[in-house]
Structure 1
Amino acid sequence: MKKITSCIAAALLLSAPLASFAADWDSVPIPAAAGTGKTWQLQSISDEFNYTASPTVKPAEFNSRWVPSFINSWTGPGDSEFNAGHSYTSGGSLALQSSAKAGTNKIYTGIISSKETFTYPLYLEARVKHTGNTLANAVWMLSADSTQEIDAMESYGSDRVGQEWFDQRMHVSHHVFVRSPFQDYQPTDAGSWILNSAGTWRGAMHTYGVHWKDPWNLDYYIDGVKVRTVSGPAMIDPNNFTGGTGINKSLHIIIDVEHQDWRDVRPTAAELADTSKSIMFVDWIRVYKPVTSSATSSSNSVSSSSSSLSNSSSSSATTVIDFANYFDTGKSTASVAGDTYVGFNKSGSGNINYNTAGDWADYLVTLPSDGQYKIEVTTASPLISGIGAKLSIDGIYVSTTSLAATGGWELYSASTLANNLSIGAGTHTVRIESAGTSTWQWNGDEIRVTKVGSAAVGSPTTPAPVAMIIQAESFSATGGVYDGFKTYSVNGVSAINYNQRGDWADYAINVAADGSYTFNAYVSSPMSGAALEVSVDGVKVLTQAVPNNGSWDSFQKVSSVSKIALTKGAHTIRVTSAGATSSTWEWNADKFELVP
């Protein structure tokens, strides 16, 4: 969705009417918990696609993050032929198009791949509308050696007769491979195919996310609801293809359209020519890493005195941050001969050097109030052209500014990167990256953030409660007198069984907003007197009778009479069998819901 994300003076490369500095995803809560004492920090790969990228010309905002191709020279599976000219932006979204390659049986398909790689823990989420022509659409991650893969979403939408099963399901999965001799493992249980009870995933934007907690734990989310958890060697790597490491490698992010020959269902020429069916749209993609709530680390701590503005009523309050006071640094481009450091090098007295094109560093700035701010950098360089600095805030591109020569590597001068930039109160991540045609760039002394105006940015909206689906088999722990719940597959769904009186399971949830929620259980039992008990964070909140429907496998919705009051944030739900059946056997369950 197209939106103004910043406000820069007309003299800078970006110019726009005064507007709030906000991202397209700001109104979408992060459904996964960062962890105790942690908070989520947005990564610079995150992209709203609110820029103009044509099939043949990509701007700096794109090129700093992506390449319009696969991570190596591979051109795609089956009849696919990845084509750089089939990726572009349209209306504030990434568009990945598919079309017939004239005179062949090949299909041109769009793809983008991240330049950087990422590792756990992280949360990745994209807002996607997929094609309707039987091709696979995917948001996924892959190691450079193609041995470890995580699929946040993989769709096969089509309105063709006979394709209803795939059209109604979203595939969420992972792979571990041995390349020679080739072997491939991915889970094949029914729980990896997420049924849309409303019909199809096709035709509308949905958010698809994956929380890569560690090498042995993955949680998948659709529209903010956790739909699947896979944990442990038995689910992640039962054949020990990773040699006991689990999914531990750094992974590229890939978004693409493909023809996968295992299905042998090709789109027709008419479907490929129909742009209402042949384009995958991605409104945005965001990636977060957890950091300590104080946002410090043992190696690169950030002092509050140097990264926050004083609580002053003056519109000219200024904070000064040494360039060496970063909490992370790296490089977005290839290494440079003679530059022995990855990212900025701390040269003493708060300065940095050994800065070559593509080097970057992240800094924390805490603003006590909404307002308009000027951001300046103090740099030094004898180079008369080809040097510059790119500014991003909270992962959102703001500007790229050419810097002037100062006459020497230690003769410093200030340059303005942004002025009258409207930013809300709170802690923000500021990234400074060297940008220009020159290989060697500039030395850095200080970053200055000055409040220049007090106009209101606008009040944030209060998030509304959203429904949550808890798959019964996706428990974080289970136990009881009879060893807890067991999992099984029936009628195309994964569920729990072997549930006897006193057995229980715990489920980790993240509530988007305070509210009162009805508890729905999709259960089945041929026993009279069965019941379930629900506790929240160790406190019992309700007991619900489970009716006898004469079957273990005909799941029916049972709704609580009273509602459960839940506060925003992470909670543990425990569901316990608590009936008075003639034997100890109680009920089987497919899923649970919390509905506001």
Structure 2
Amino acid sequence: MSDEFDTWNSSKWFKSTWNYGVPVFMSSSNTNSGVTDGKLWIKATLNEANADGRWFQTARIHSKAETKYPMYTEARIKTAHISAYNTYWLNNGDINNRDEIDIIENNSKPSCTNCEAEIFPERMNSQYFQADENETPQTVRNKGTFLRSGLVDANPLKNKGWNEDYHTYGVWWKDSKNIQFYLDGEPAGSVVVGQHNDGQTYNREFTRDLEIIFDLWTNEAGWLGGLPPKSDLGDDSINTMRIDWVRTWKLEDE
């Protein structure tokens, strides 16, 4: 679950093709993901050949290994500058039963106006989800709202957009309930499993081993930022998310 991405390591990573909603089409093609010049990259390209309207062709990369608290993982990432989520997250399960930690769902160029996502070029979008079909409510979640402006003035990345430079994002998964996020070496908000964004508290814990996932995807909804213009997908200067490295530690007794 650590990699400097000198080459593609198939013993550590695999590409999955389950799709989000339209217009996303997840591809395992080398056109949409790979390793070049010491970077793992995920590119969004235009493909209007699909009859079901899935024109946003992209990719998702999973770790083969899984891990559990107490652990810390961080990655150095430069986002694609299109209206899409550039993600780095931990997950195990499906829509009905899963534990999920979203370290980032960052969008540096939302297309929507008068929407929540207008703050996304400044906000590190971090959260947790837990879904359990045997519990009420089935899904609980809570999200962080840390702004890049909250970094100390001495931090050289404070005024650099998500797409303008590589930022280091991390999470310290302390135990079954406590999750601390980091941005460029500084604490960047925390969440507690069982605290829901409706203000209620539920008796929930994370119990699953989770894998690391990187992907790039979009949706027309305002909560994500809206769809990019199709012309953005043909611009190789903005359509690619790059991961310089990912490093993961587990806590062990001395």
Amino acid at match of 1:292: D
Residues 161, 232 of structure 1: CA spacing in aligned structure 2 closer, same or farther, 3 A cutoff? closer
Counterpart of 1:249 in structure 2 is 208
Deviation per CA, 1:526-564, whole angstroms, max 9, x where unpaired?
xxxxxxxxxxxxxxxxxxxxxxxxxxxxxxxxxxxxxxx
Counterpart of 2:46 in structure 1 is 100
Residues 252, 183 of structure 1: CA spacing in aligned structure 2 closer, same or farther, 3 A cutoff? same
Amino acid at match of 2:101: I
The structure 1 residue matched to 2:78, chosen from 111, 122, 129, is: 129
Counterpart of 2:241 in structure 1 is 280
Counterpart of 1:572 in structure 2 is none
Amino acid at match of 1:133: I
| Contact 2:89–2:213 (8 Å) recurs in 1 | yes
Aligned-partner Cα distance in 2 for 1:283–1:185 = 32
The yes-or-no answer on 1:154 pairing with 2:113 is: no
| Contact 1:149–1:174 (8 Å) recurs in 2 | yes
Task: Work out the percentage of aligned pairs sharing the same amino acid.
Answer: 27
Aligned-partner Cα distance in 1 for 2:209–2:181 = 19
| Contact 1:169–1:201 (8 Å) recurs in 2 | no
The yes-or-no answer on 1:111 pairing with 2:111 is: no
TM-score by length of 1: 0.36
Find the residue that maps to 2:82 and give its secondary structure.
coil
Q: How does 1:450-489 map to 2 (within 5 A)?
A: none
Find the residue that maps to 1:211 and give its secondary structure.
strand
Aligned-partner Cα distance in 2 for 1:269–1:261 = 13
Aligned-partner Cα distance in 2 for 1:161–1:262 = 8
Residues 117, 238 of structure 1: CA spacing in aligned structure 2 closer, same or farther, 3 A cutoff? farther
- Larger relative strand fraction: 1
Larger radius of gyration: 1
Amino acid at match of 2:36: S
Q: Over the residues paired in the alignment, what is the CA RMSD in angstroms?
A: 2.5
Find the residue that maps to 1:169 and give its secondary structure.
coil
Residues 179, 67 of structure 1: CA spacing in aligned structure 2 closer, same or farther, 3 A cutoff? farther
> Structure 2, unaligned stretches of length 5 or more?
150-158
Aligned-partner Cα distance in 2 for 1:149–1:279 = 24
Counterpart of 1:499 in structure 2 is none
Counterpart of 1:443 in structure 2 is none
The yes-or-no answer on 1:75 pairing with 2:15 is: no
Residues 232, 151 of structure 1: CA spacing in aligned structure 2 closer, same or farther, 3 A cutoff? closer
Amino acid at match of 1:166: F
Q: CA deviation at 1:77?
A: 3.5
Q: How does 1:13-52 map to 2 (within 5 A)?
A: 45-51=1-7
Higher relative contact order (CA 8 A, sep 6+): 2
The structure 1 residue matched to 2:194, chosen from 233, 248, 264, is: 233
Counterpart of 2:128 in structure 1 is 174
Q: How does 1:229-378 map to 2 (within 5 A)?
A: 229-231=190-192, 233-234=194-195, 238=200, 240=202, 244-263=203-222, 265-293=226-254
> Structure 1, unaligned stretches of length 5 or more?
1-44, 54-61, 294-596
Residues 119, 159 of structure 1: CA spacing in aligned structure 2 closer, same or farther, 3 A cutoff? closer
Residues 282, 232 of structure 1: CA spacing in aligned structure 2 closer, same or farther, 3 A cutoff? closer
Q: CA deviation at 1:116?
A: 1.7
The yes-or-no answer on 1:165 pairing with 2:119 is: yes
The structure 2 residue matched to 1:195, chosen from 115, 126, 147, is: 147
Aligned-partner Cα distance in 1 for 2:11–2:126 = 28
Q: CA deviation at 1:223?
A: 0.3
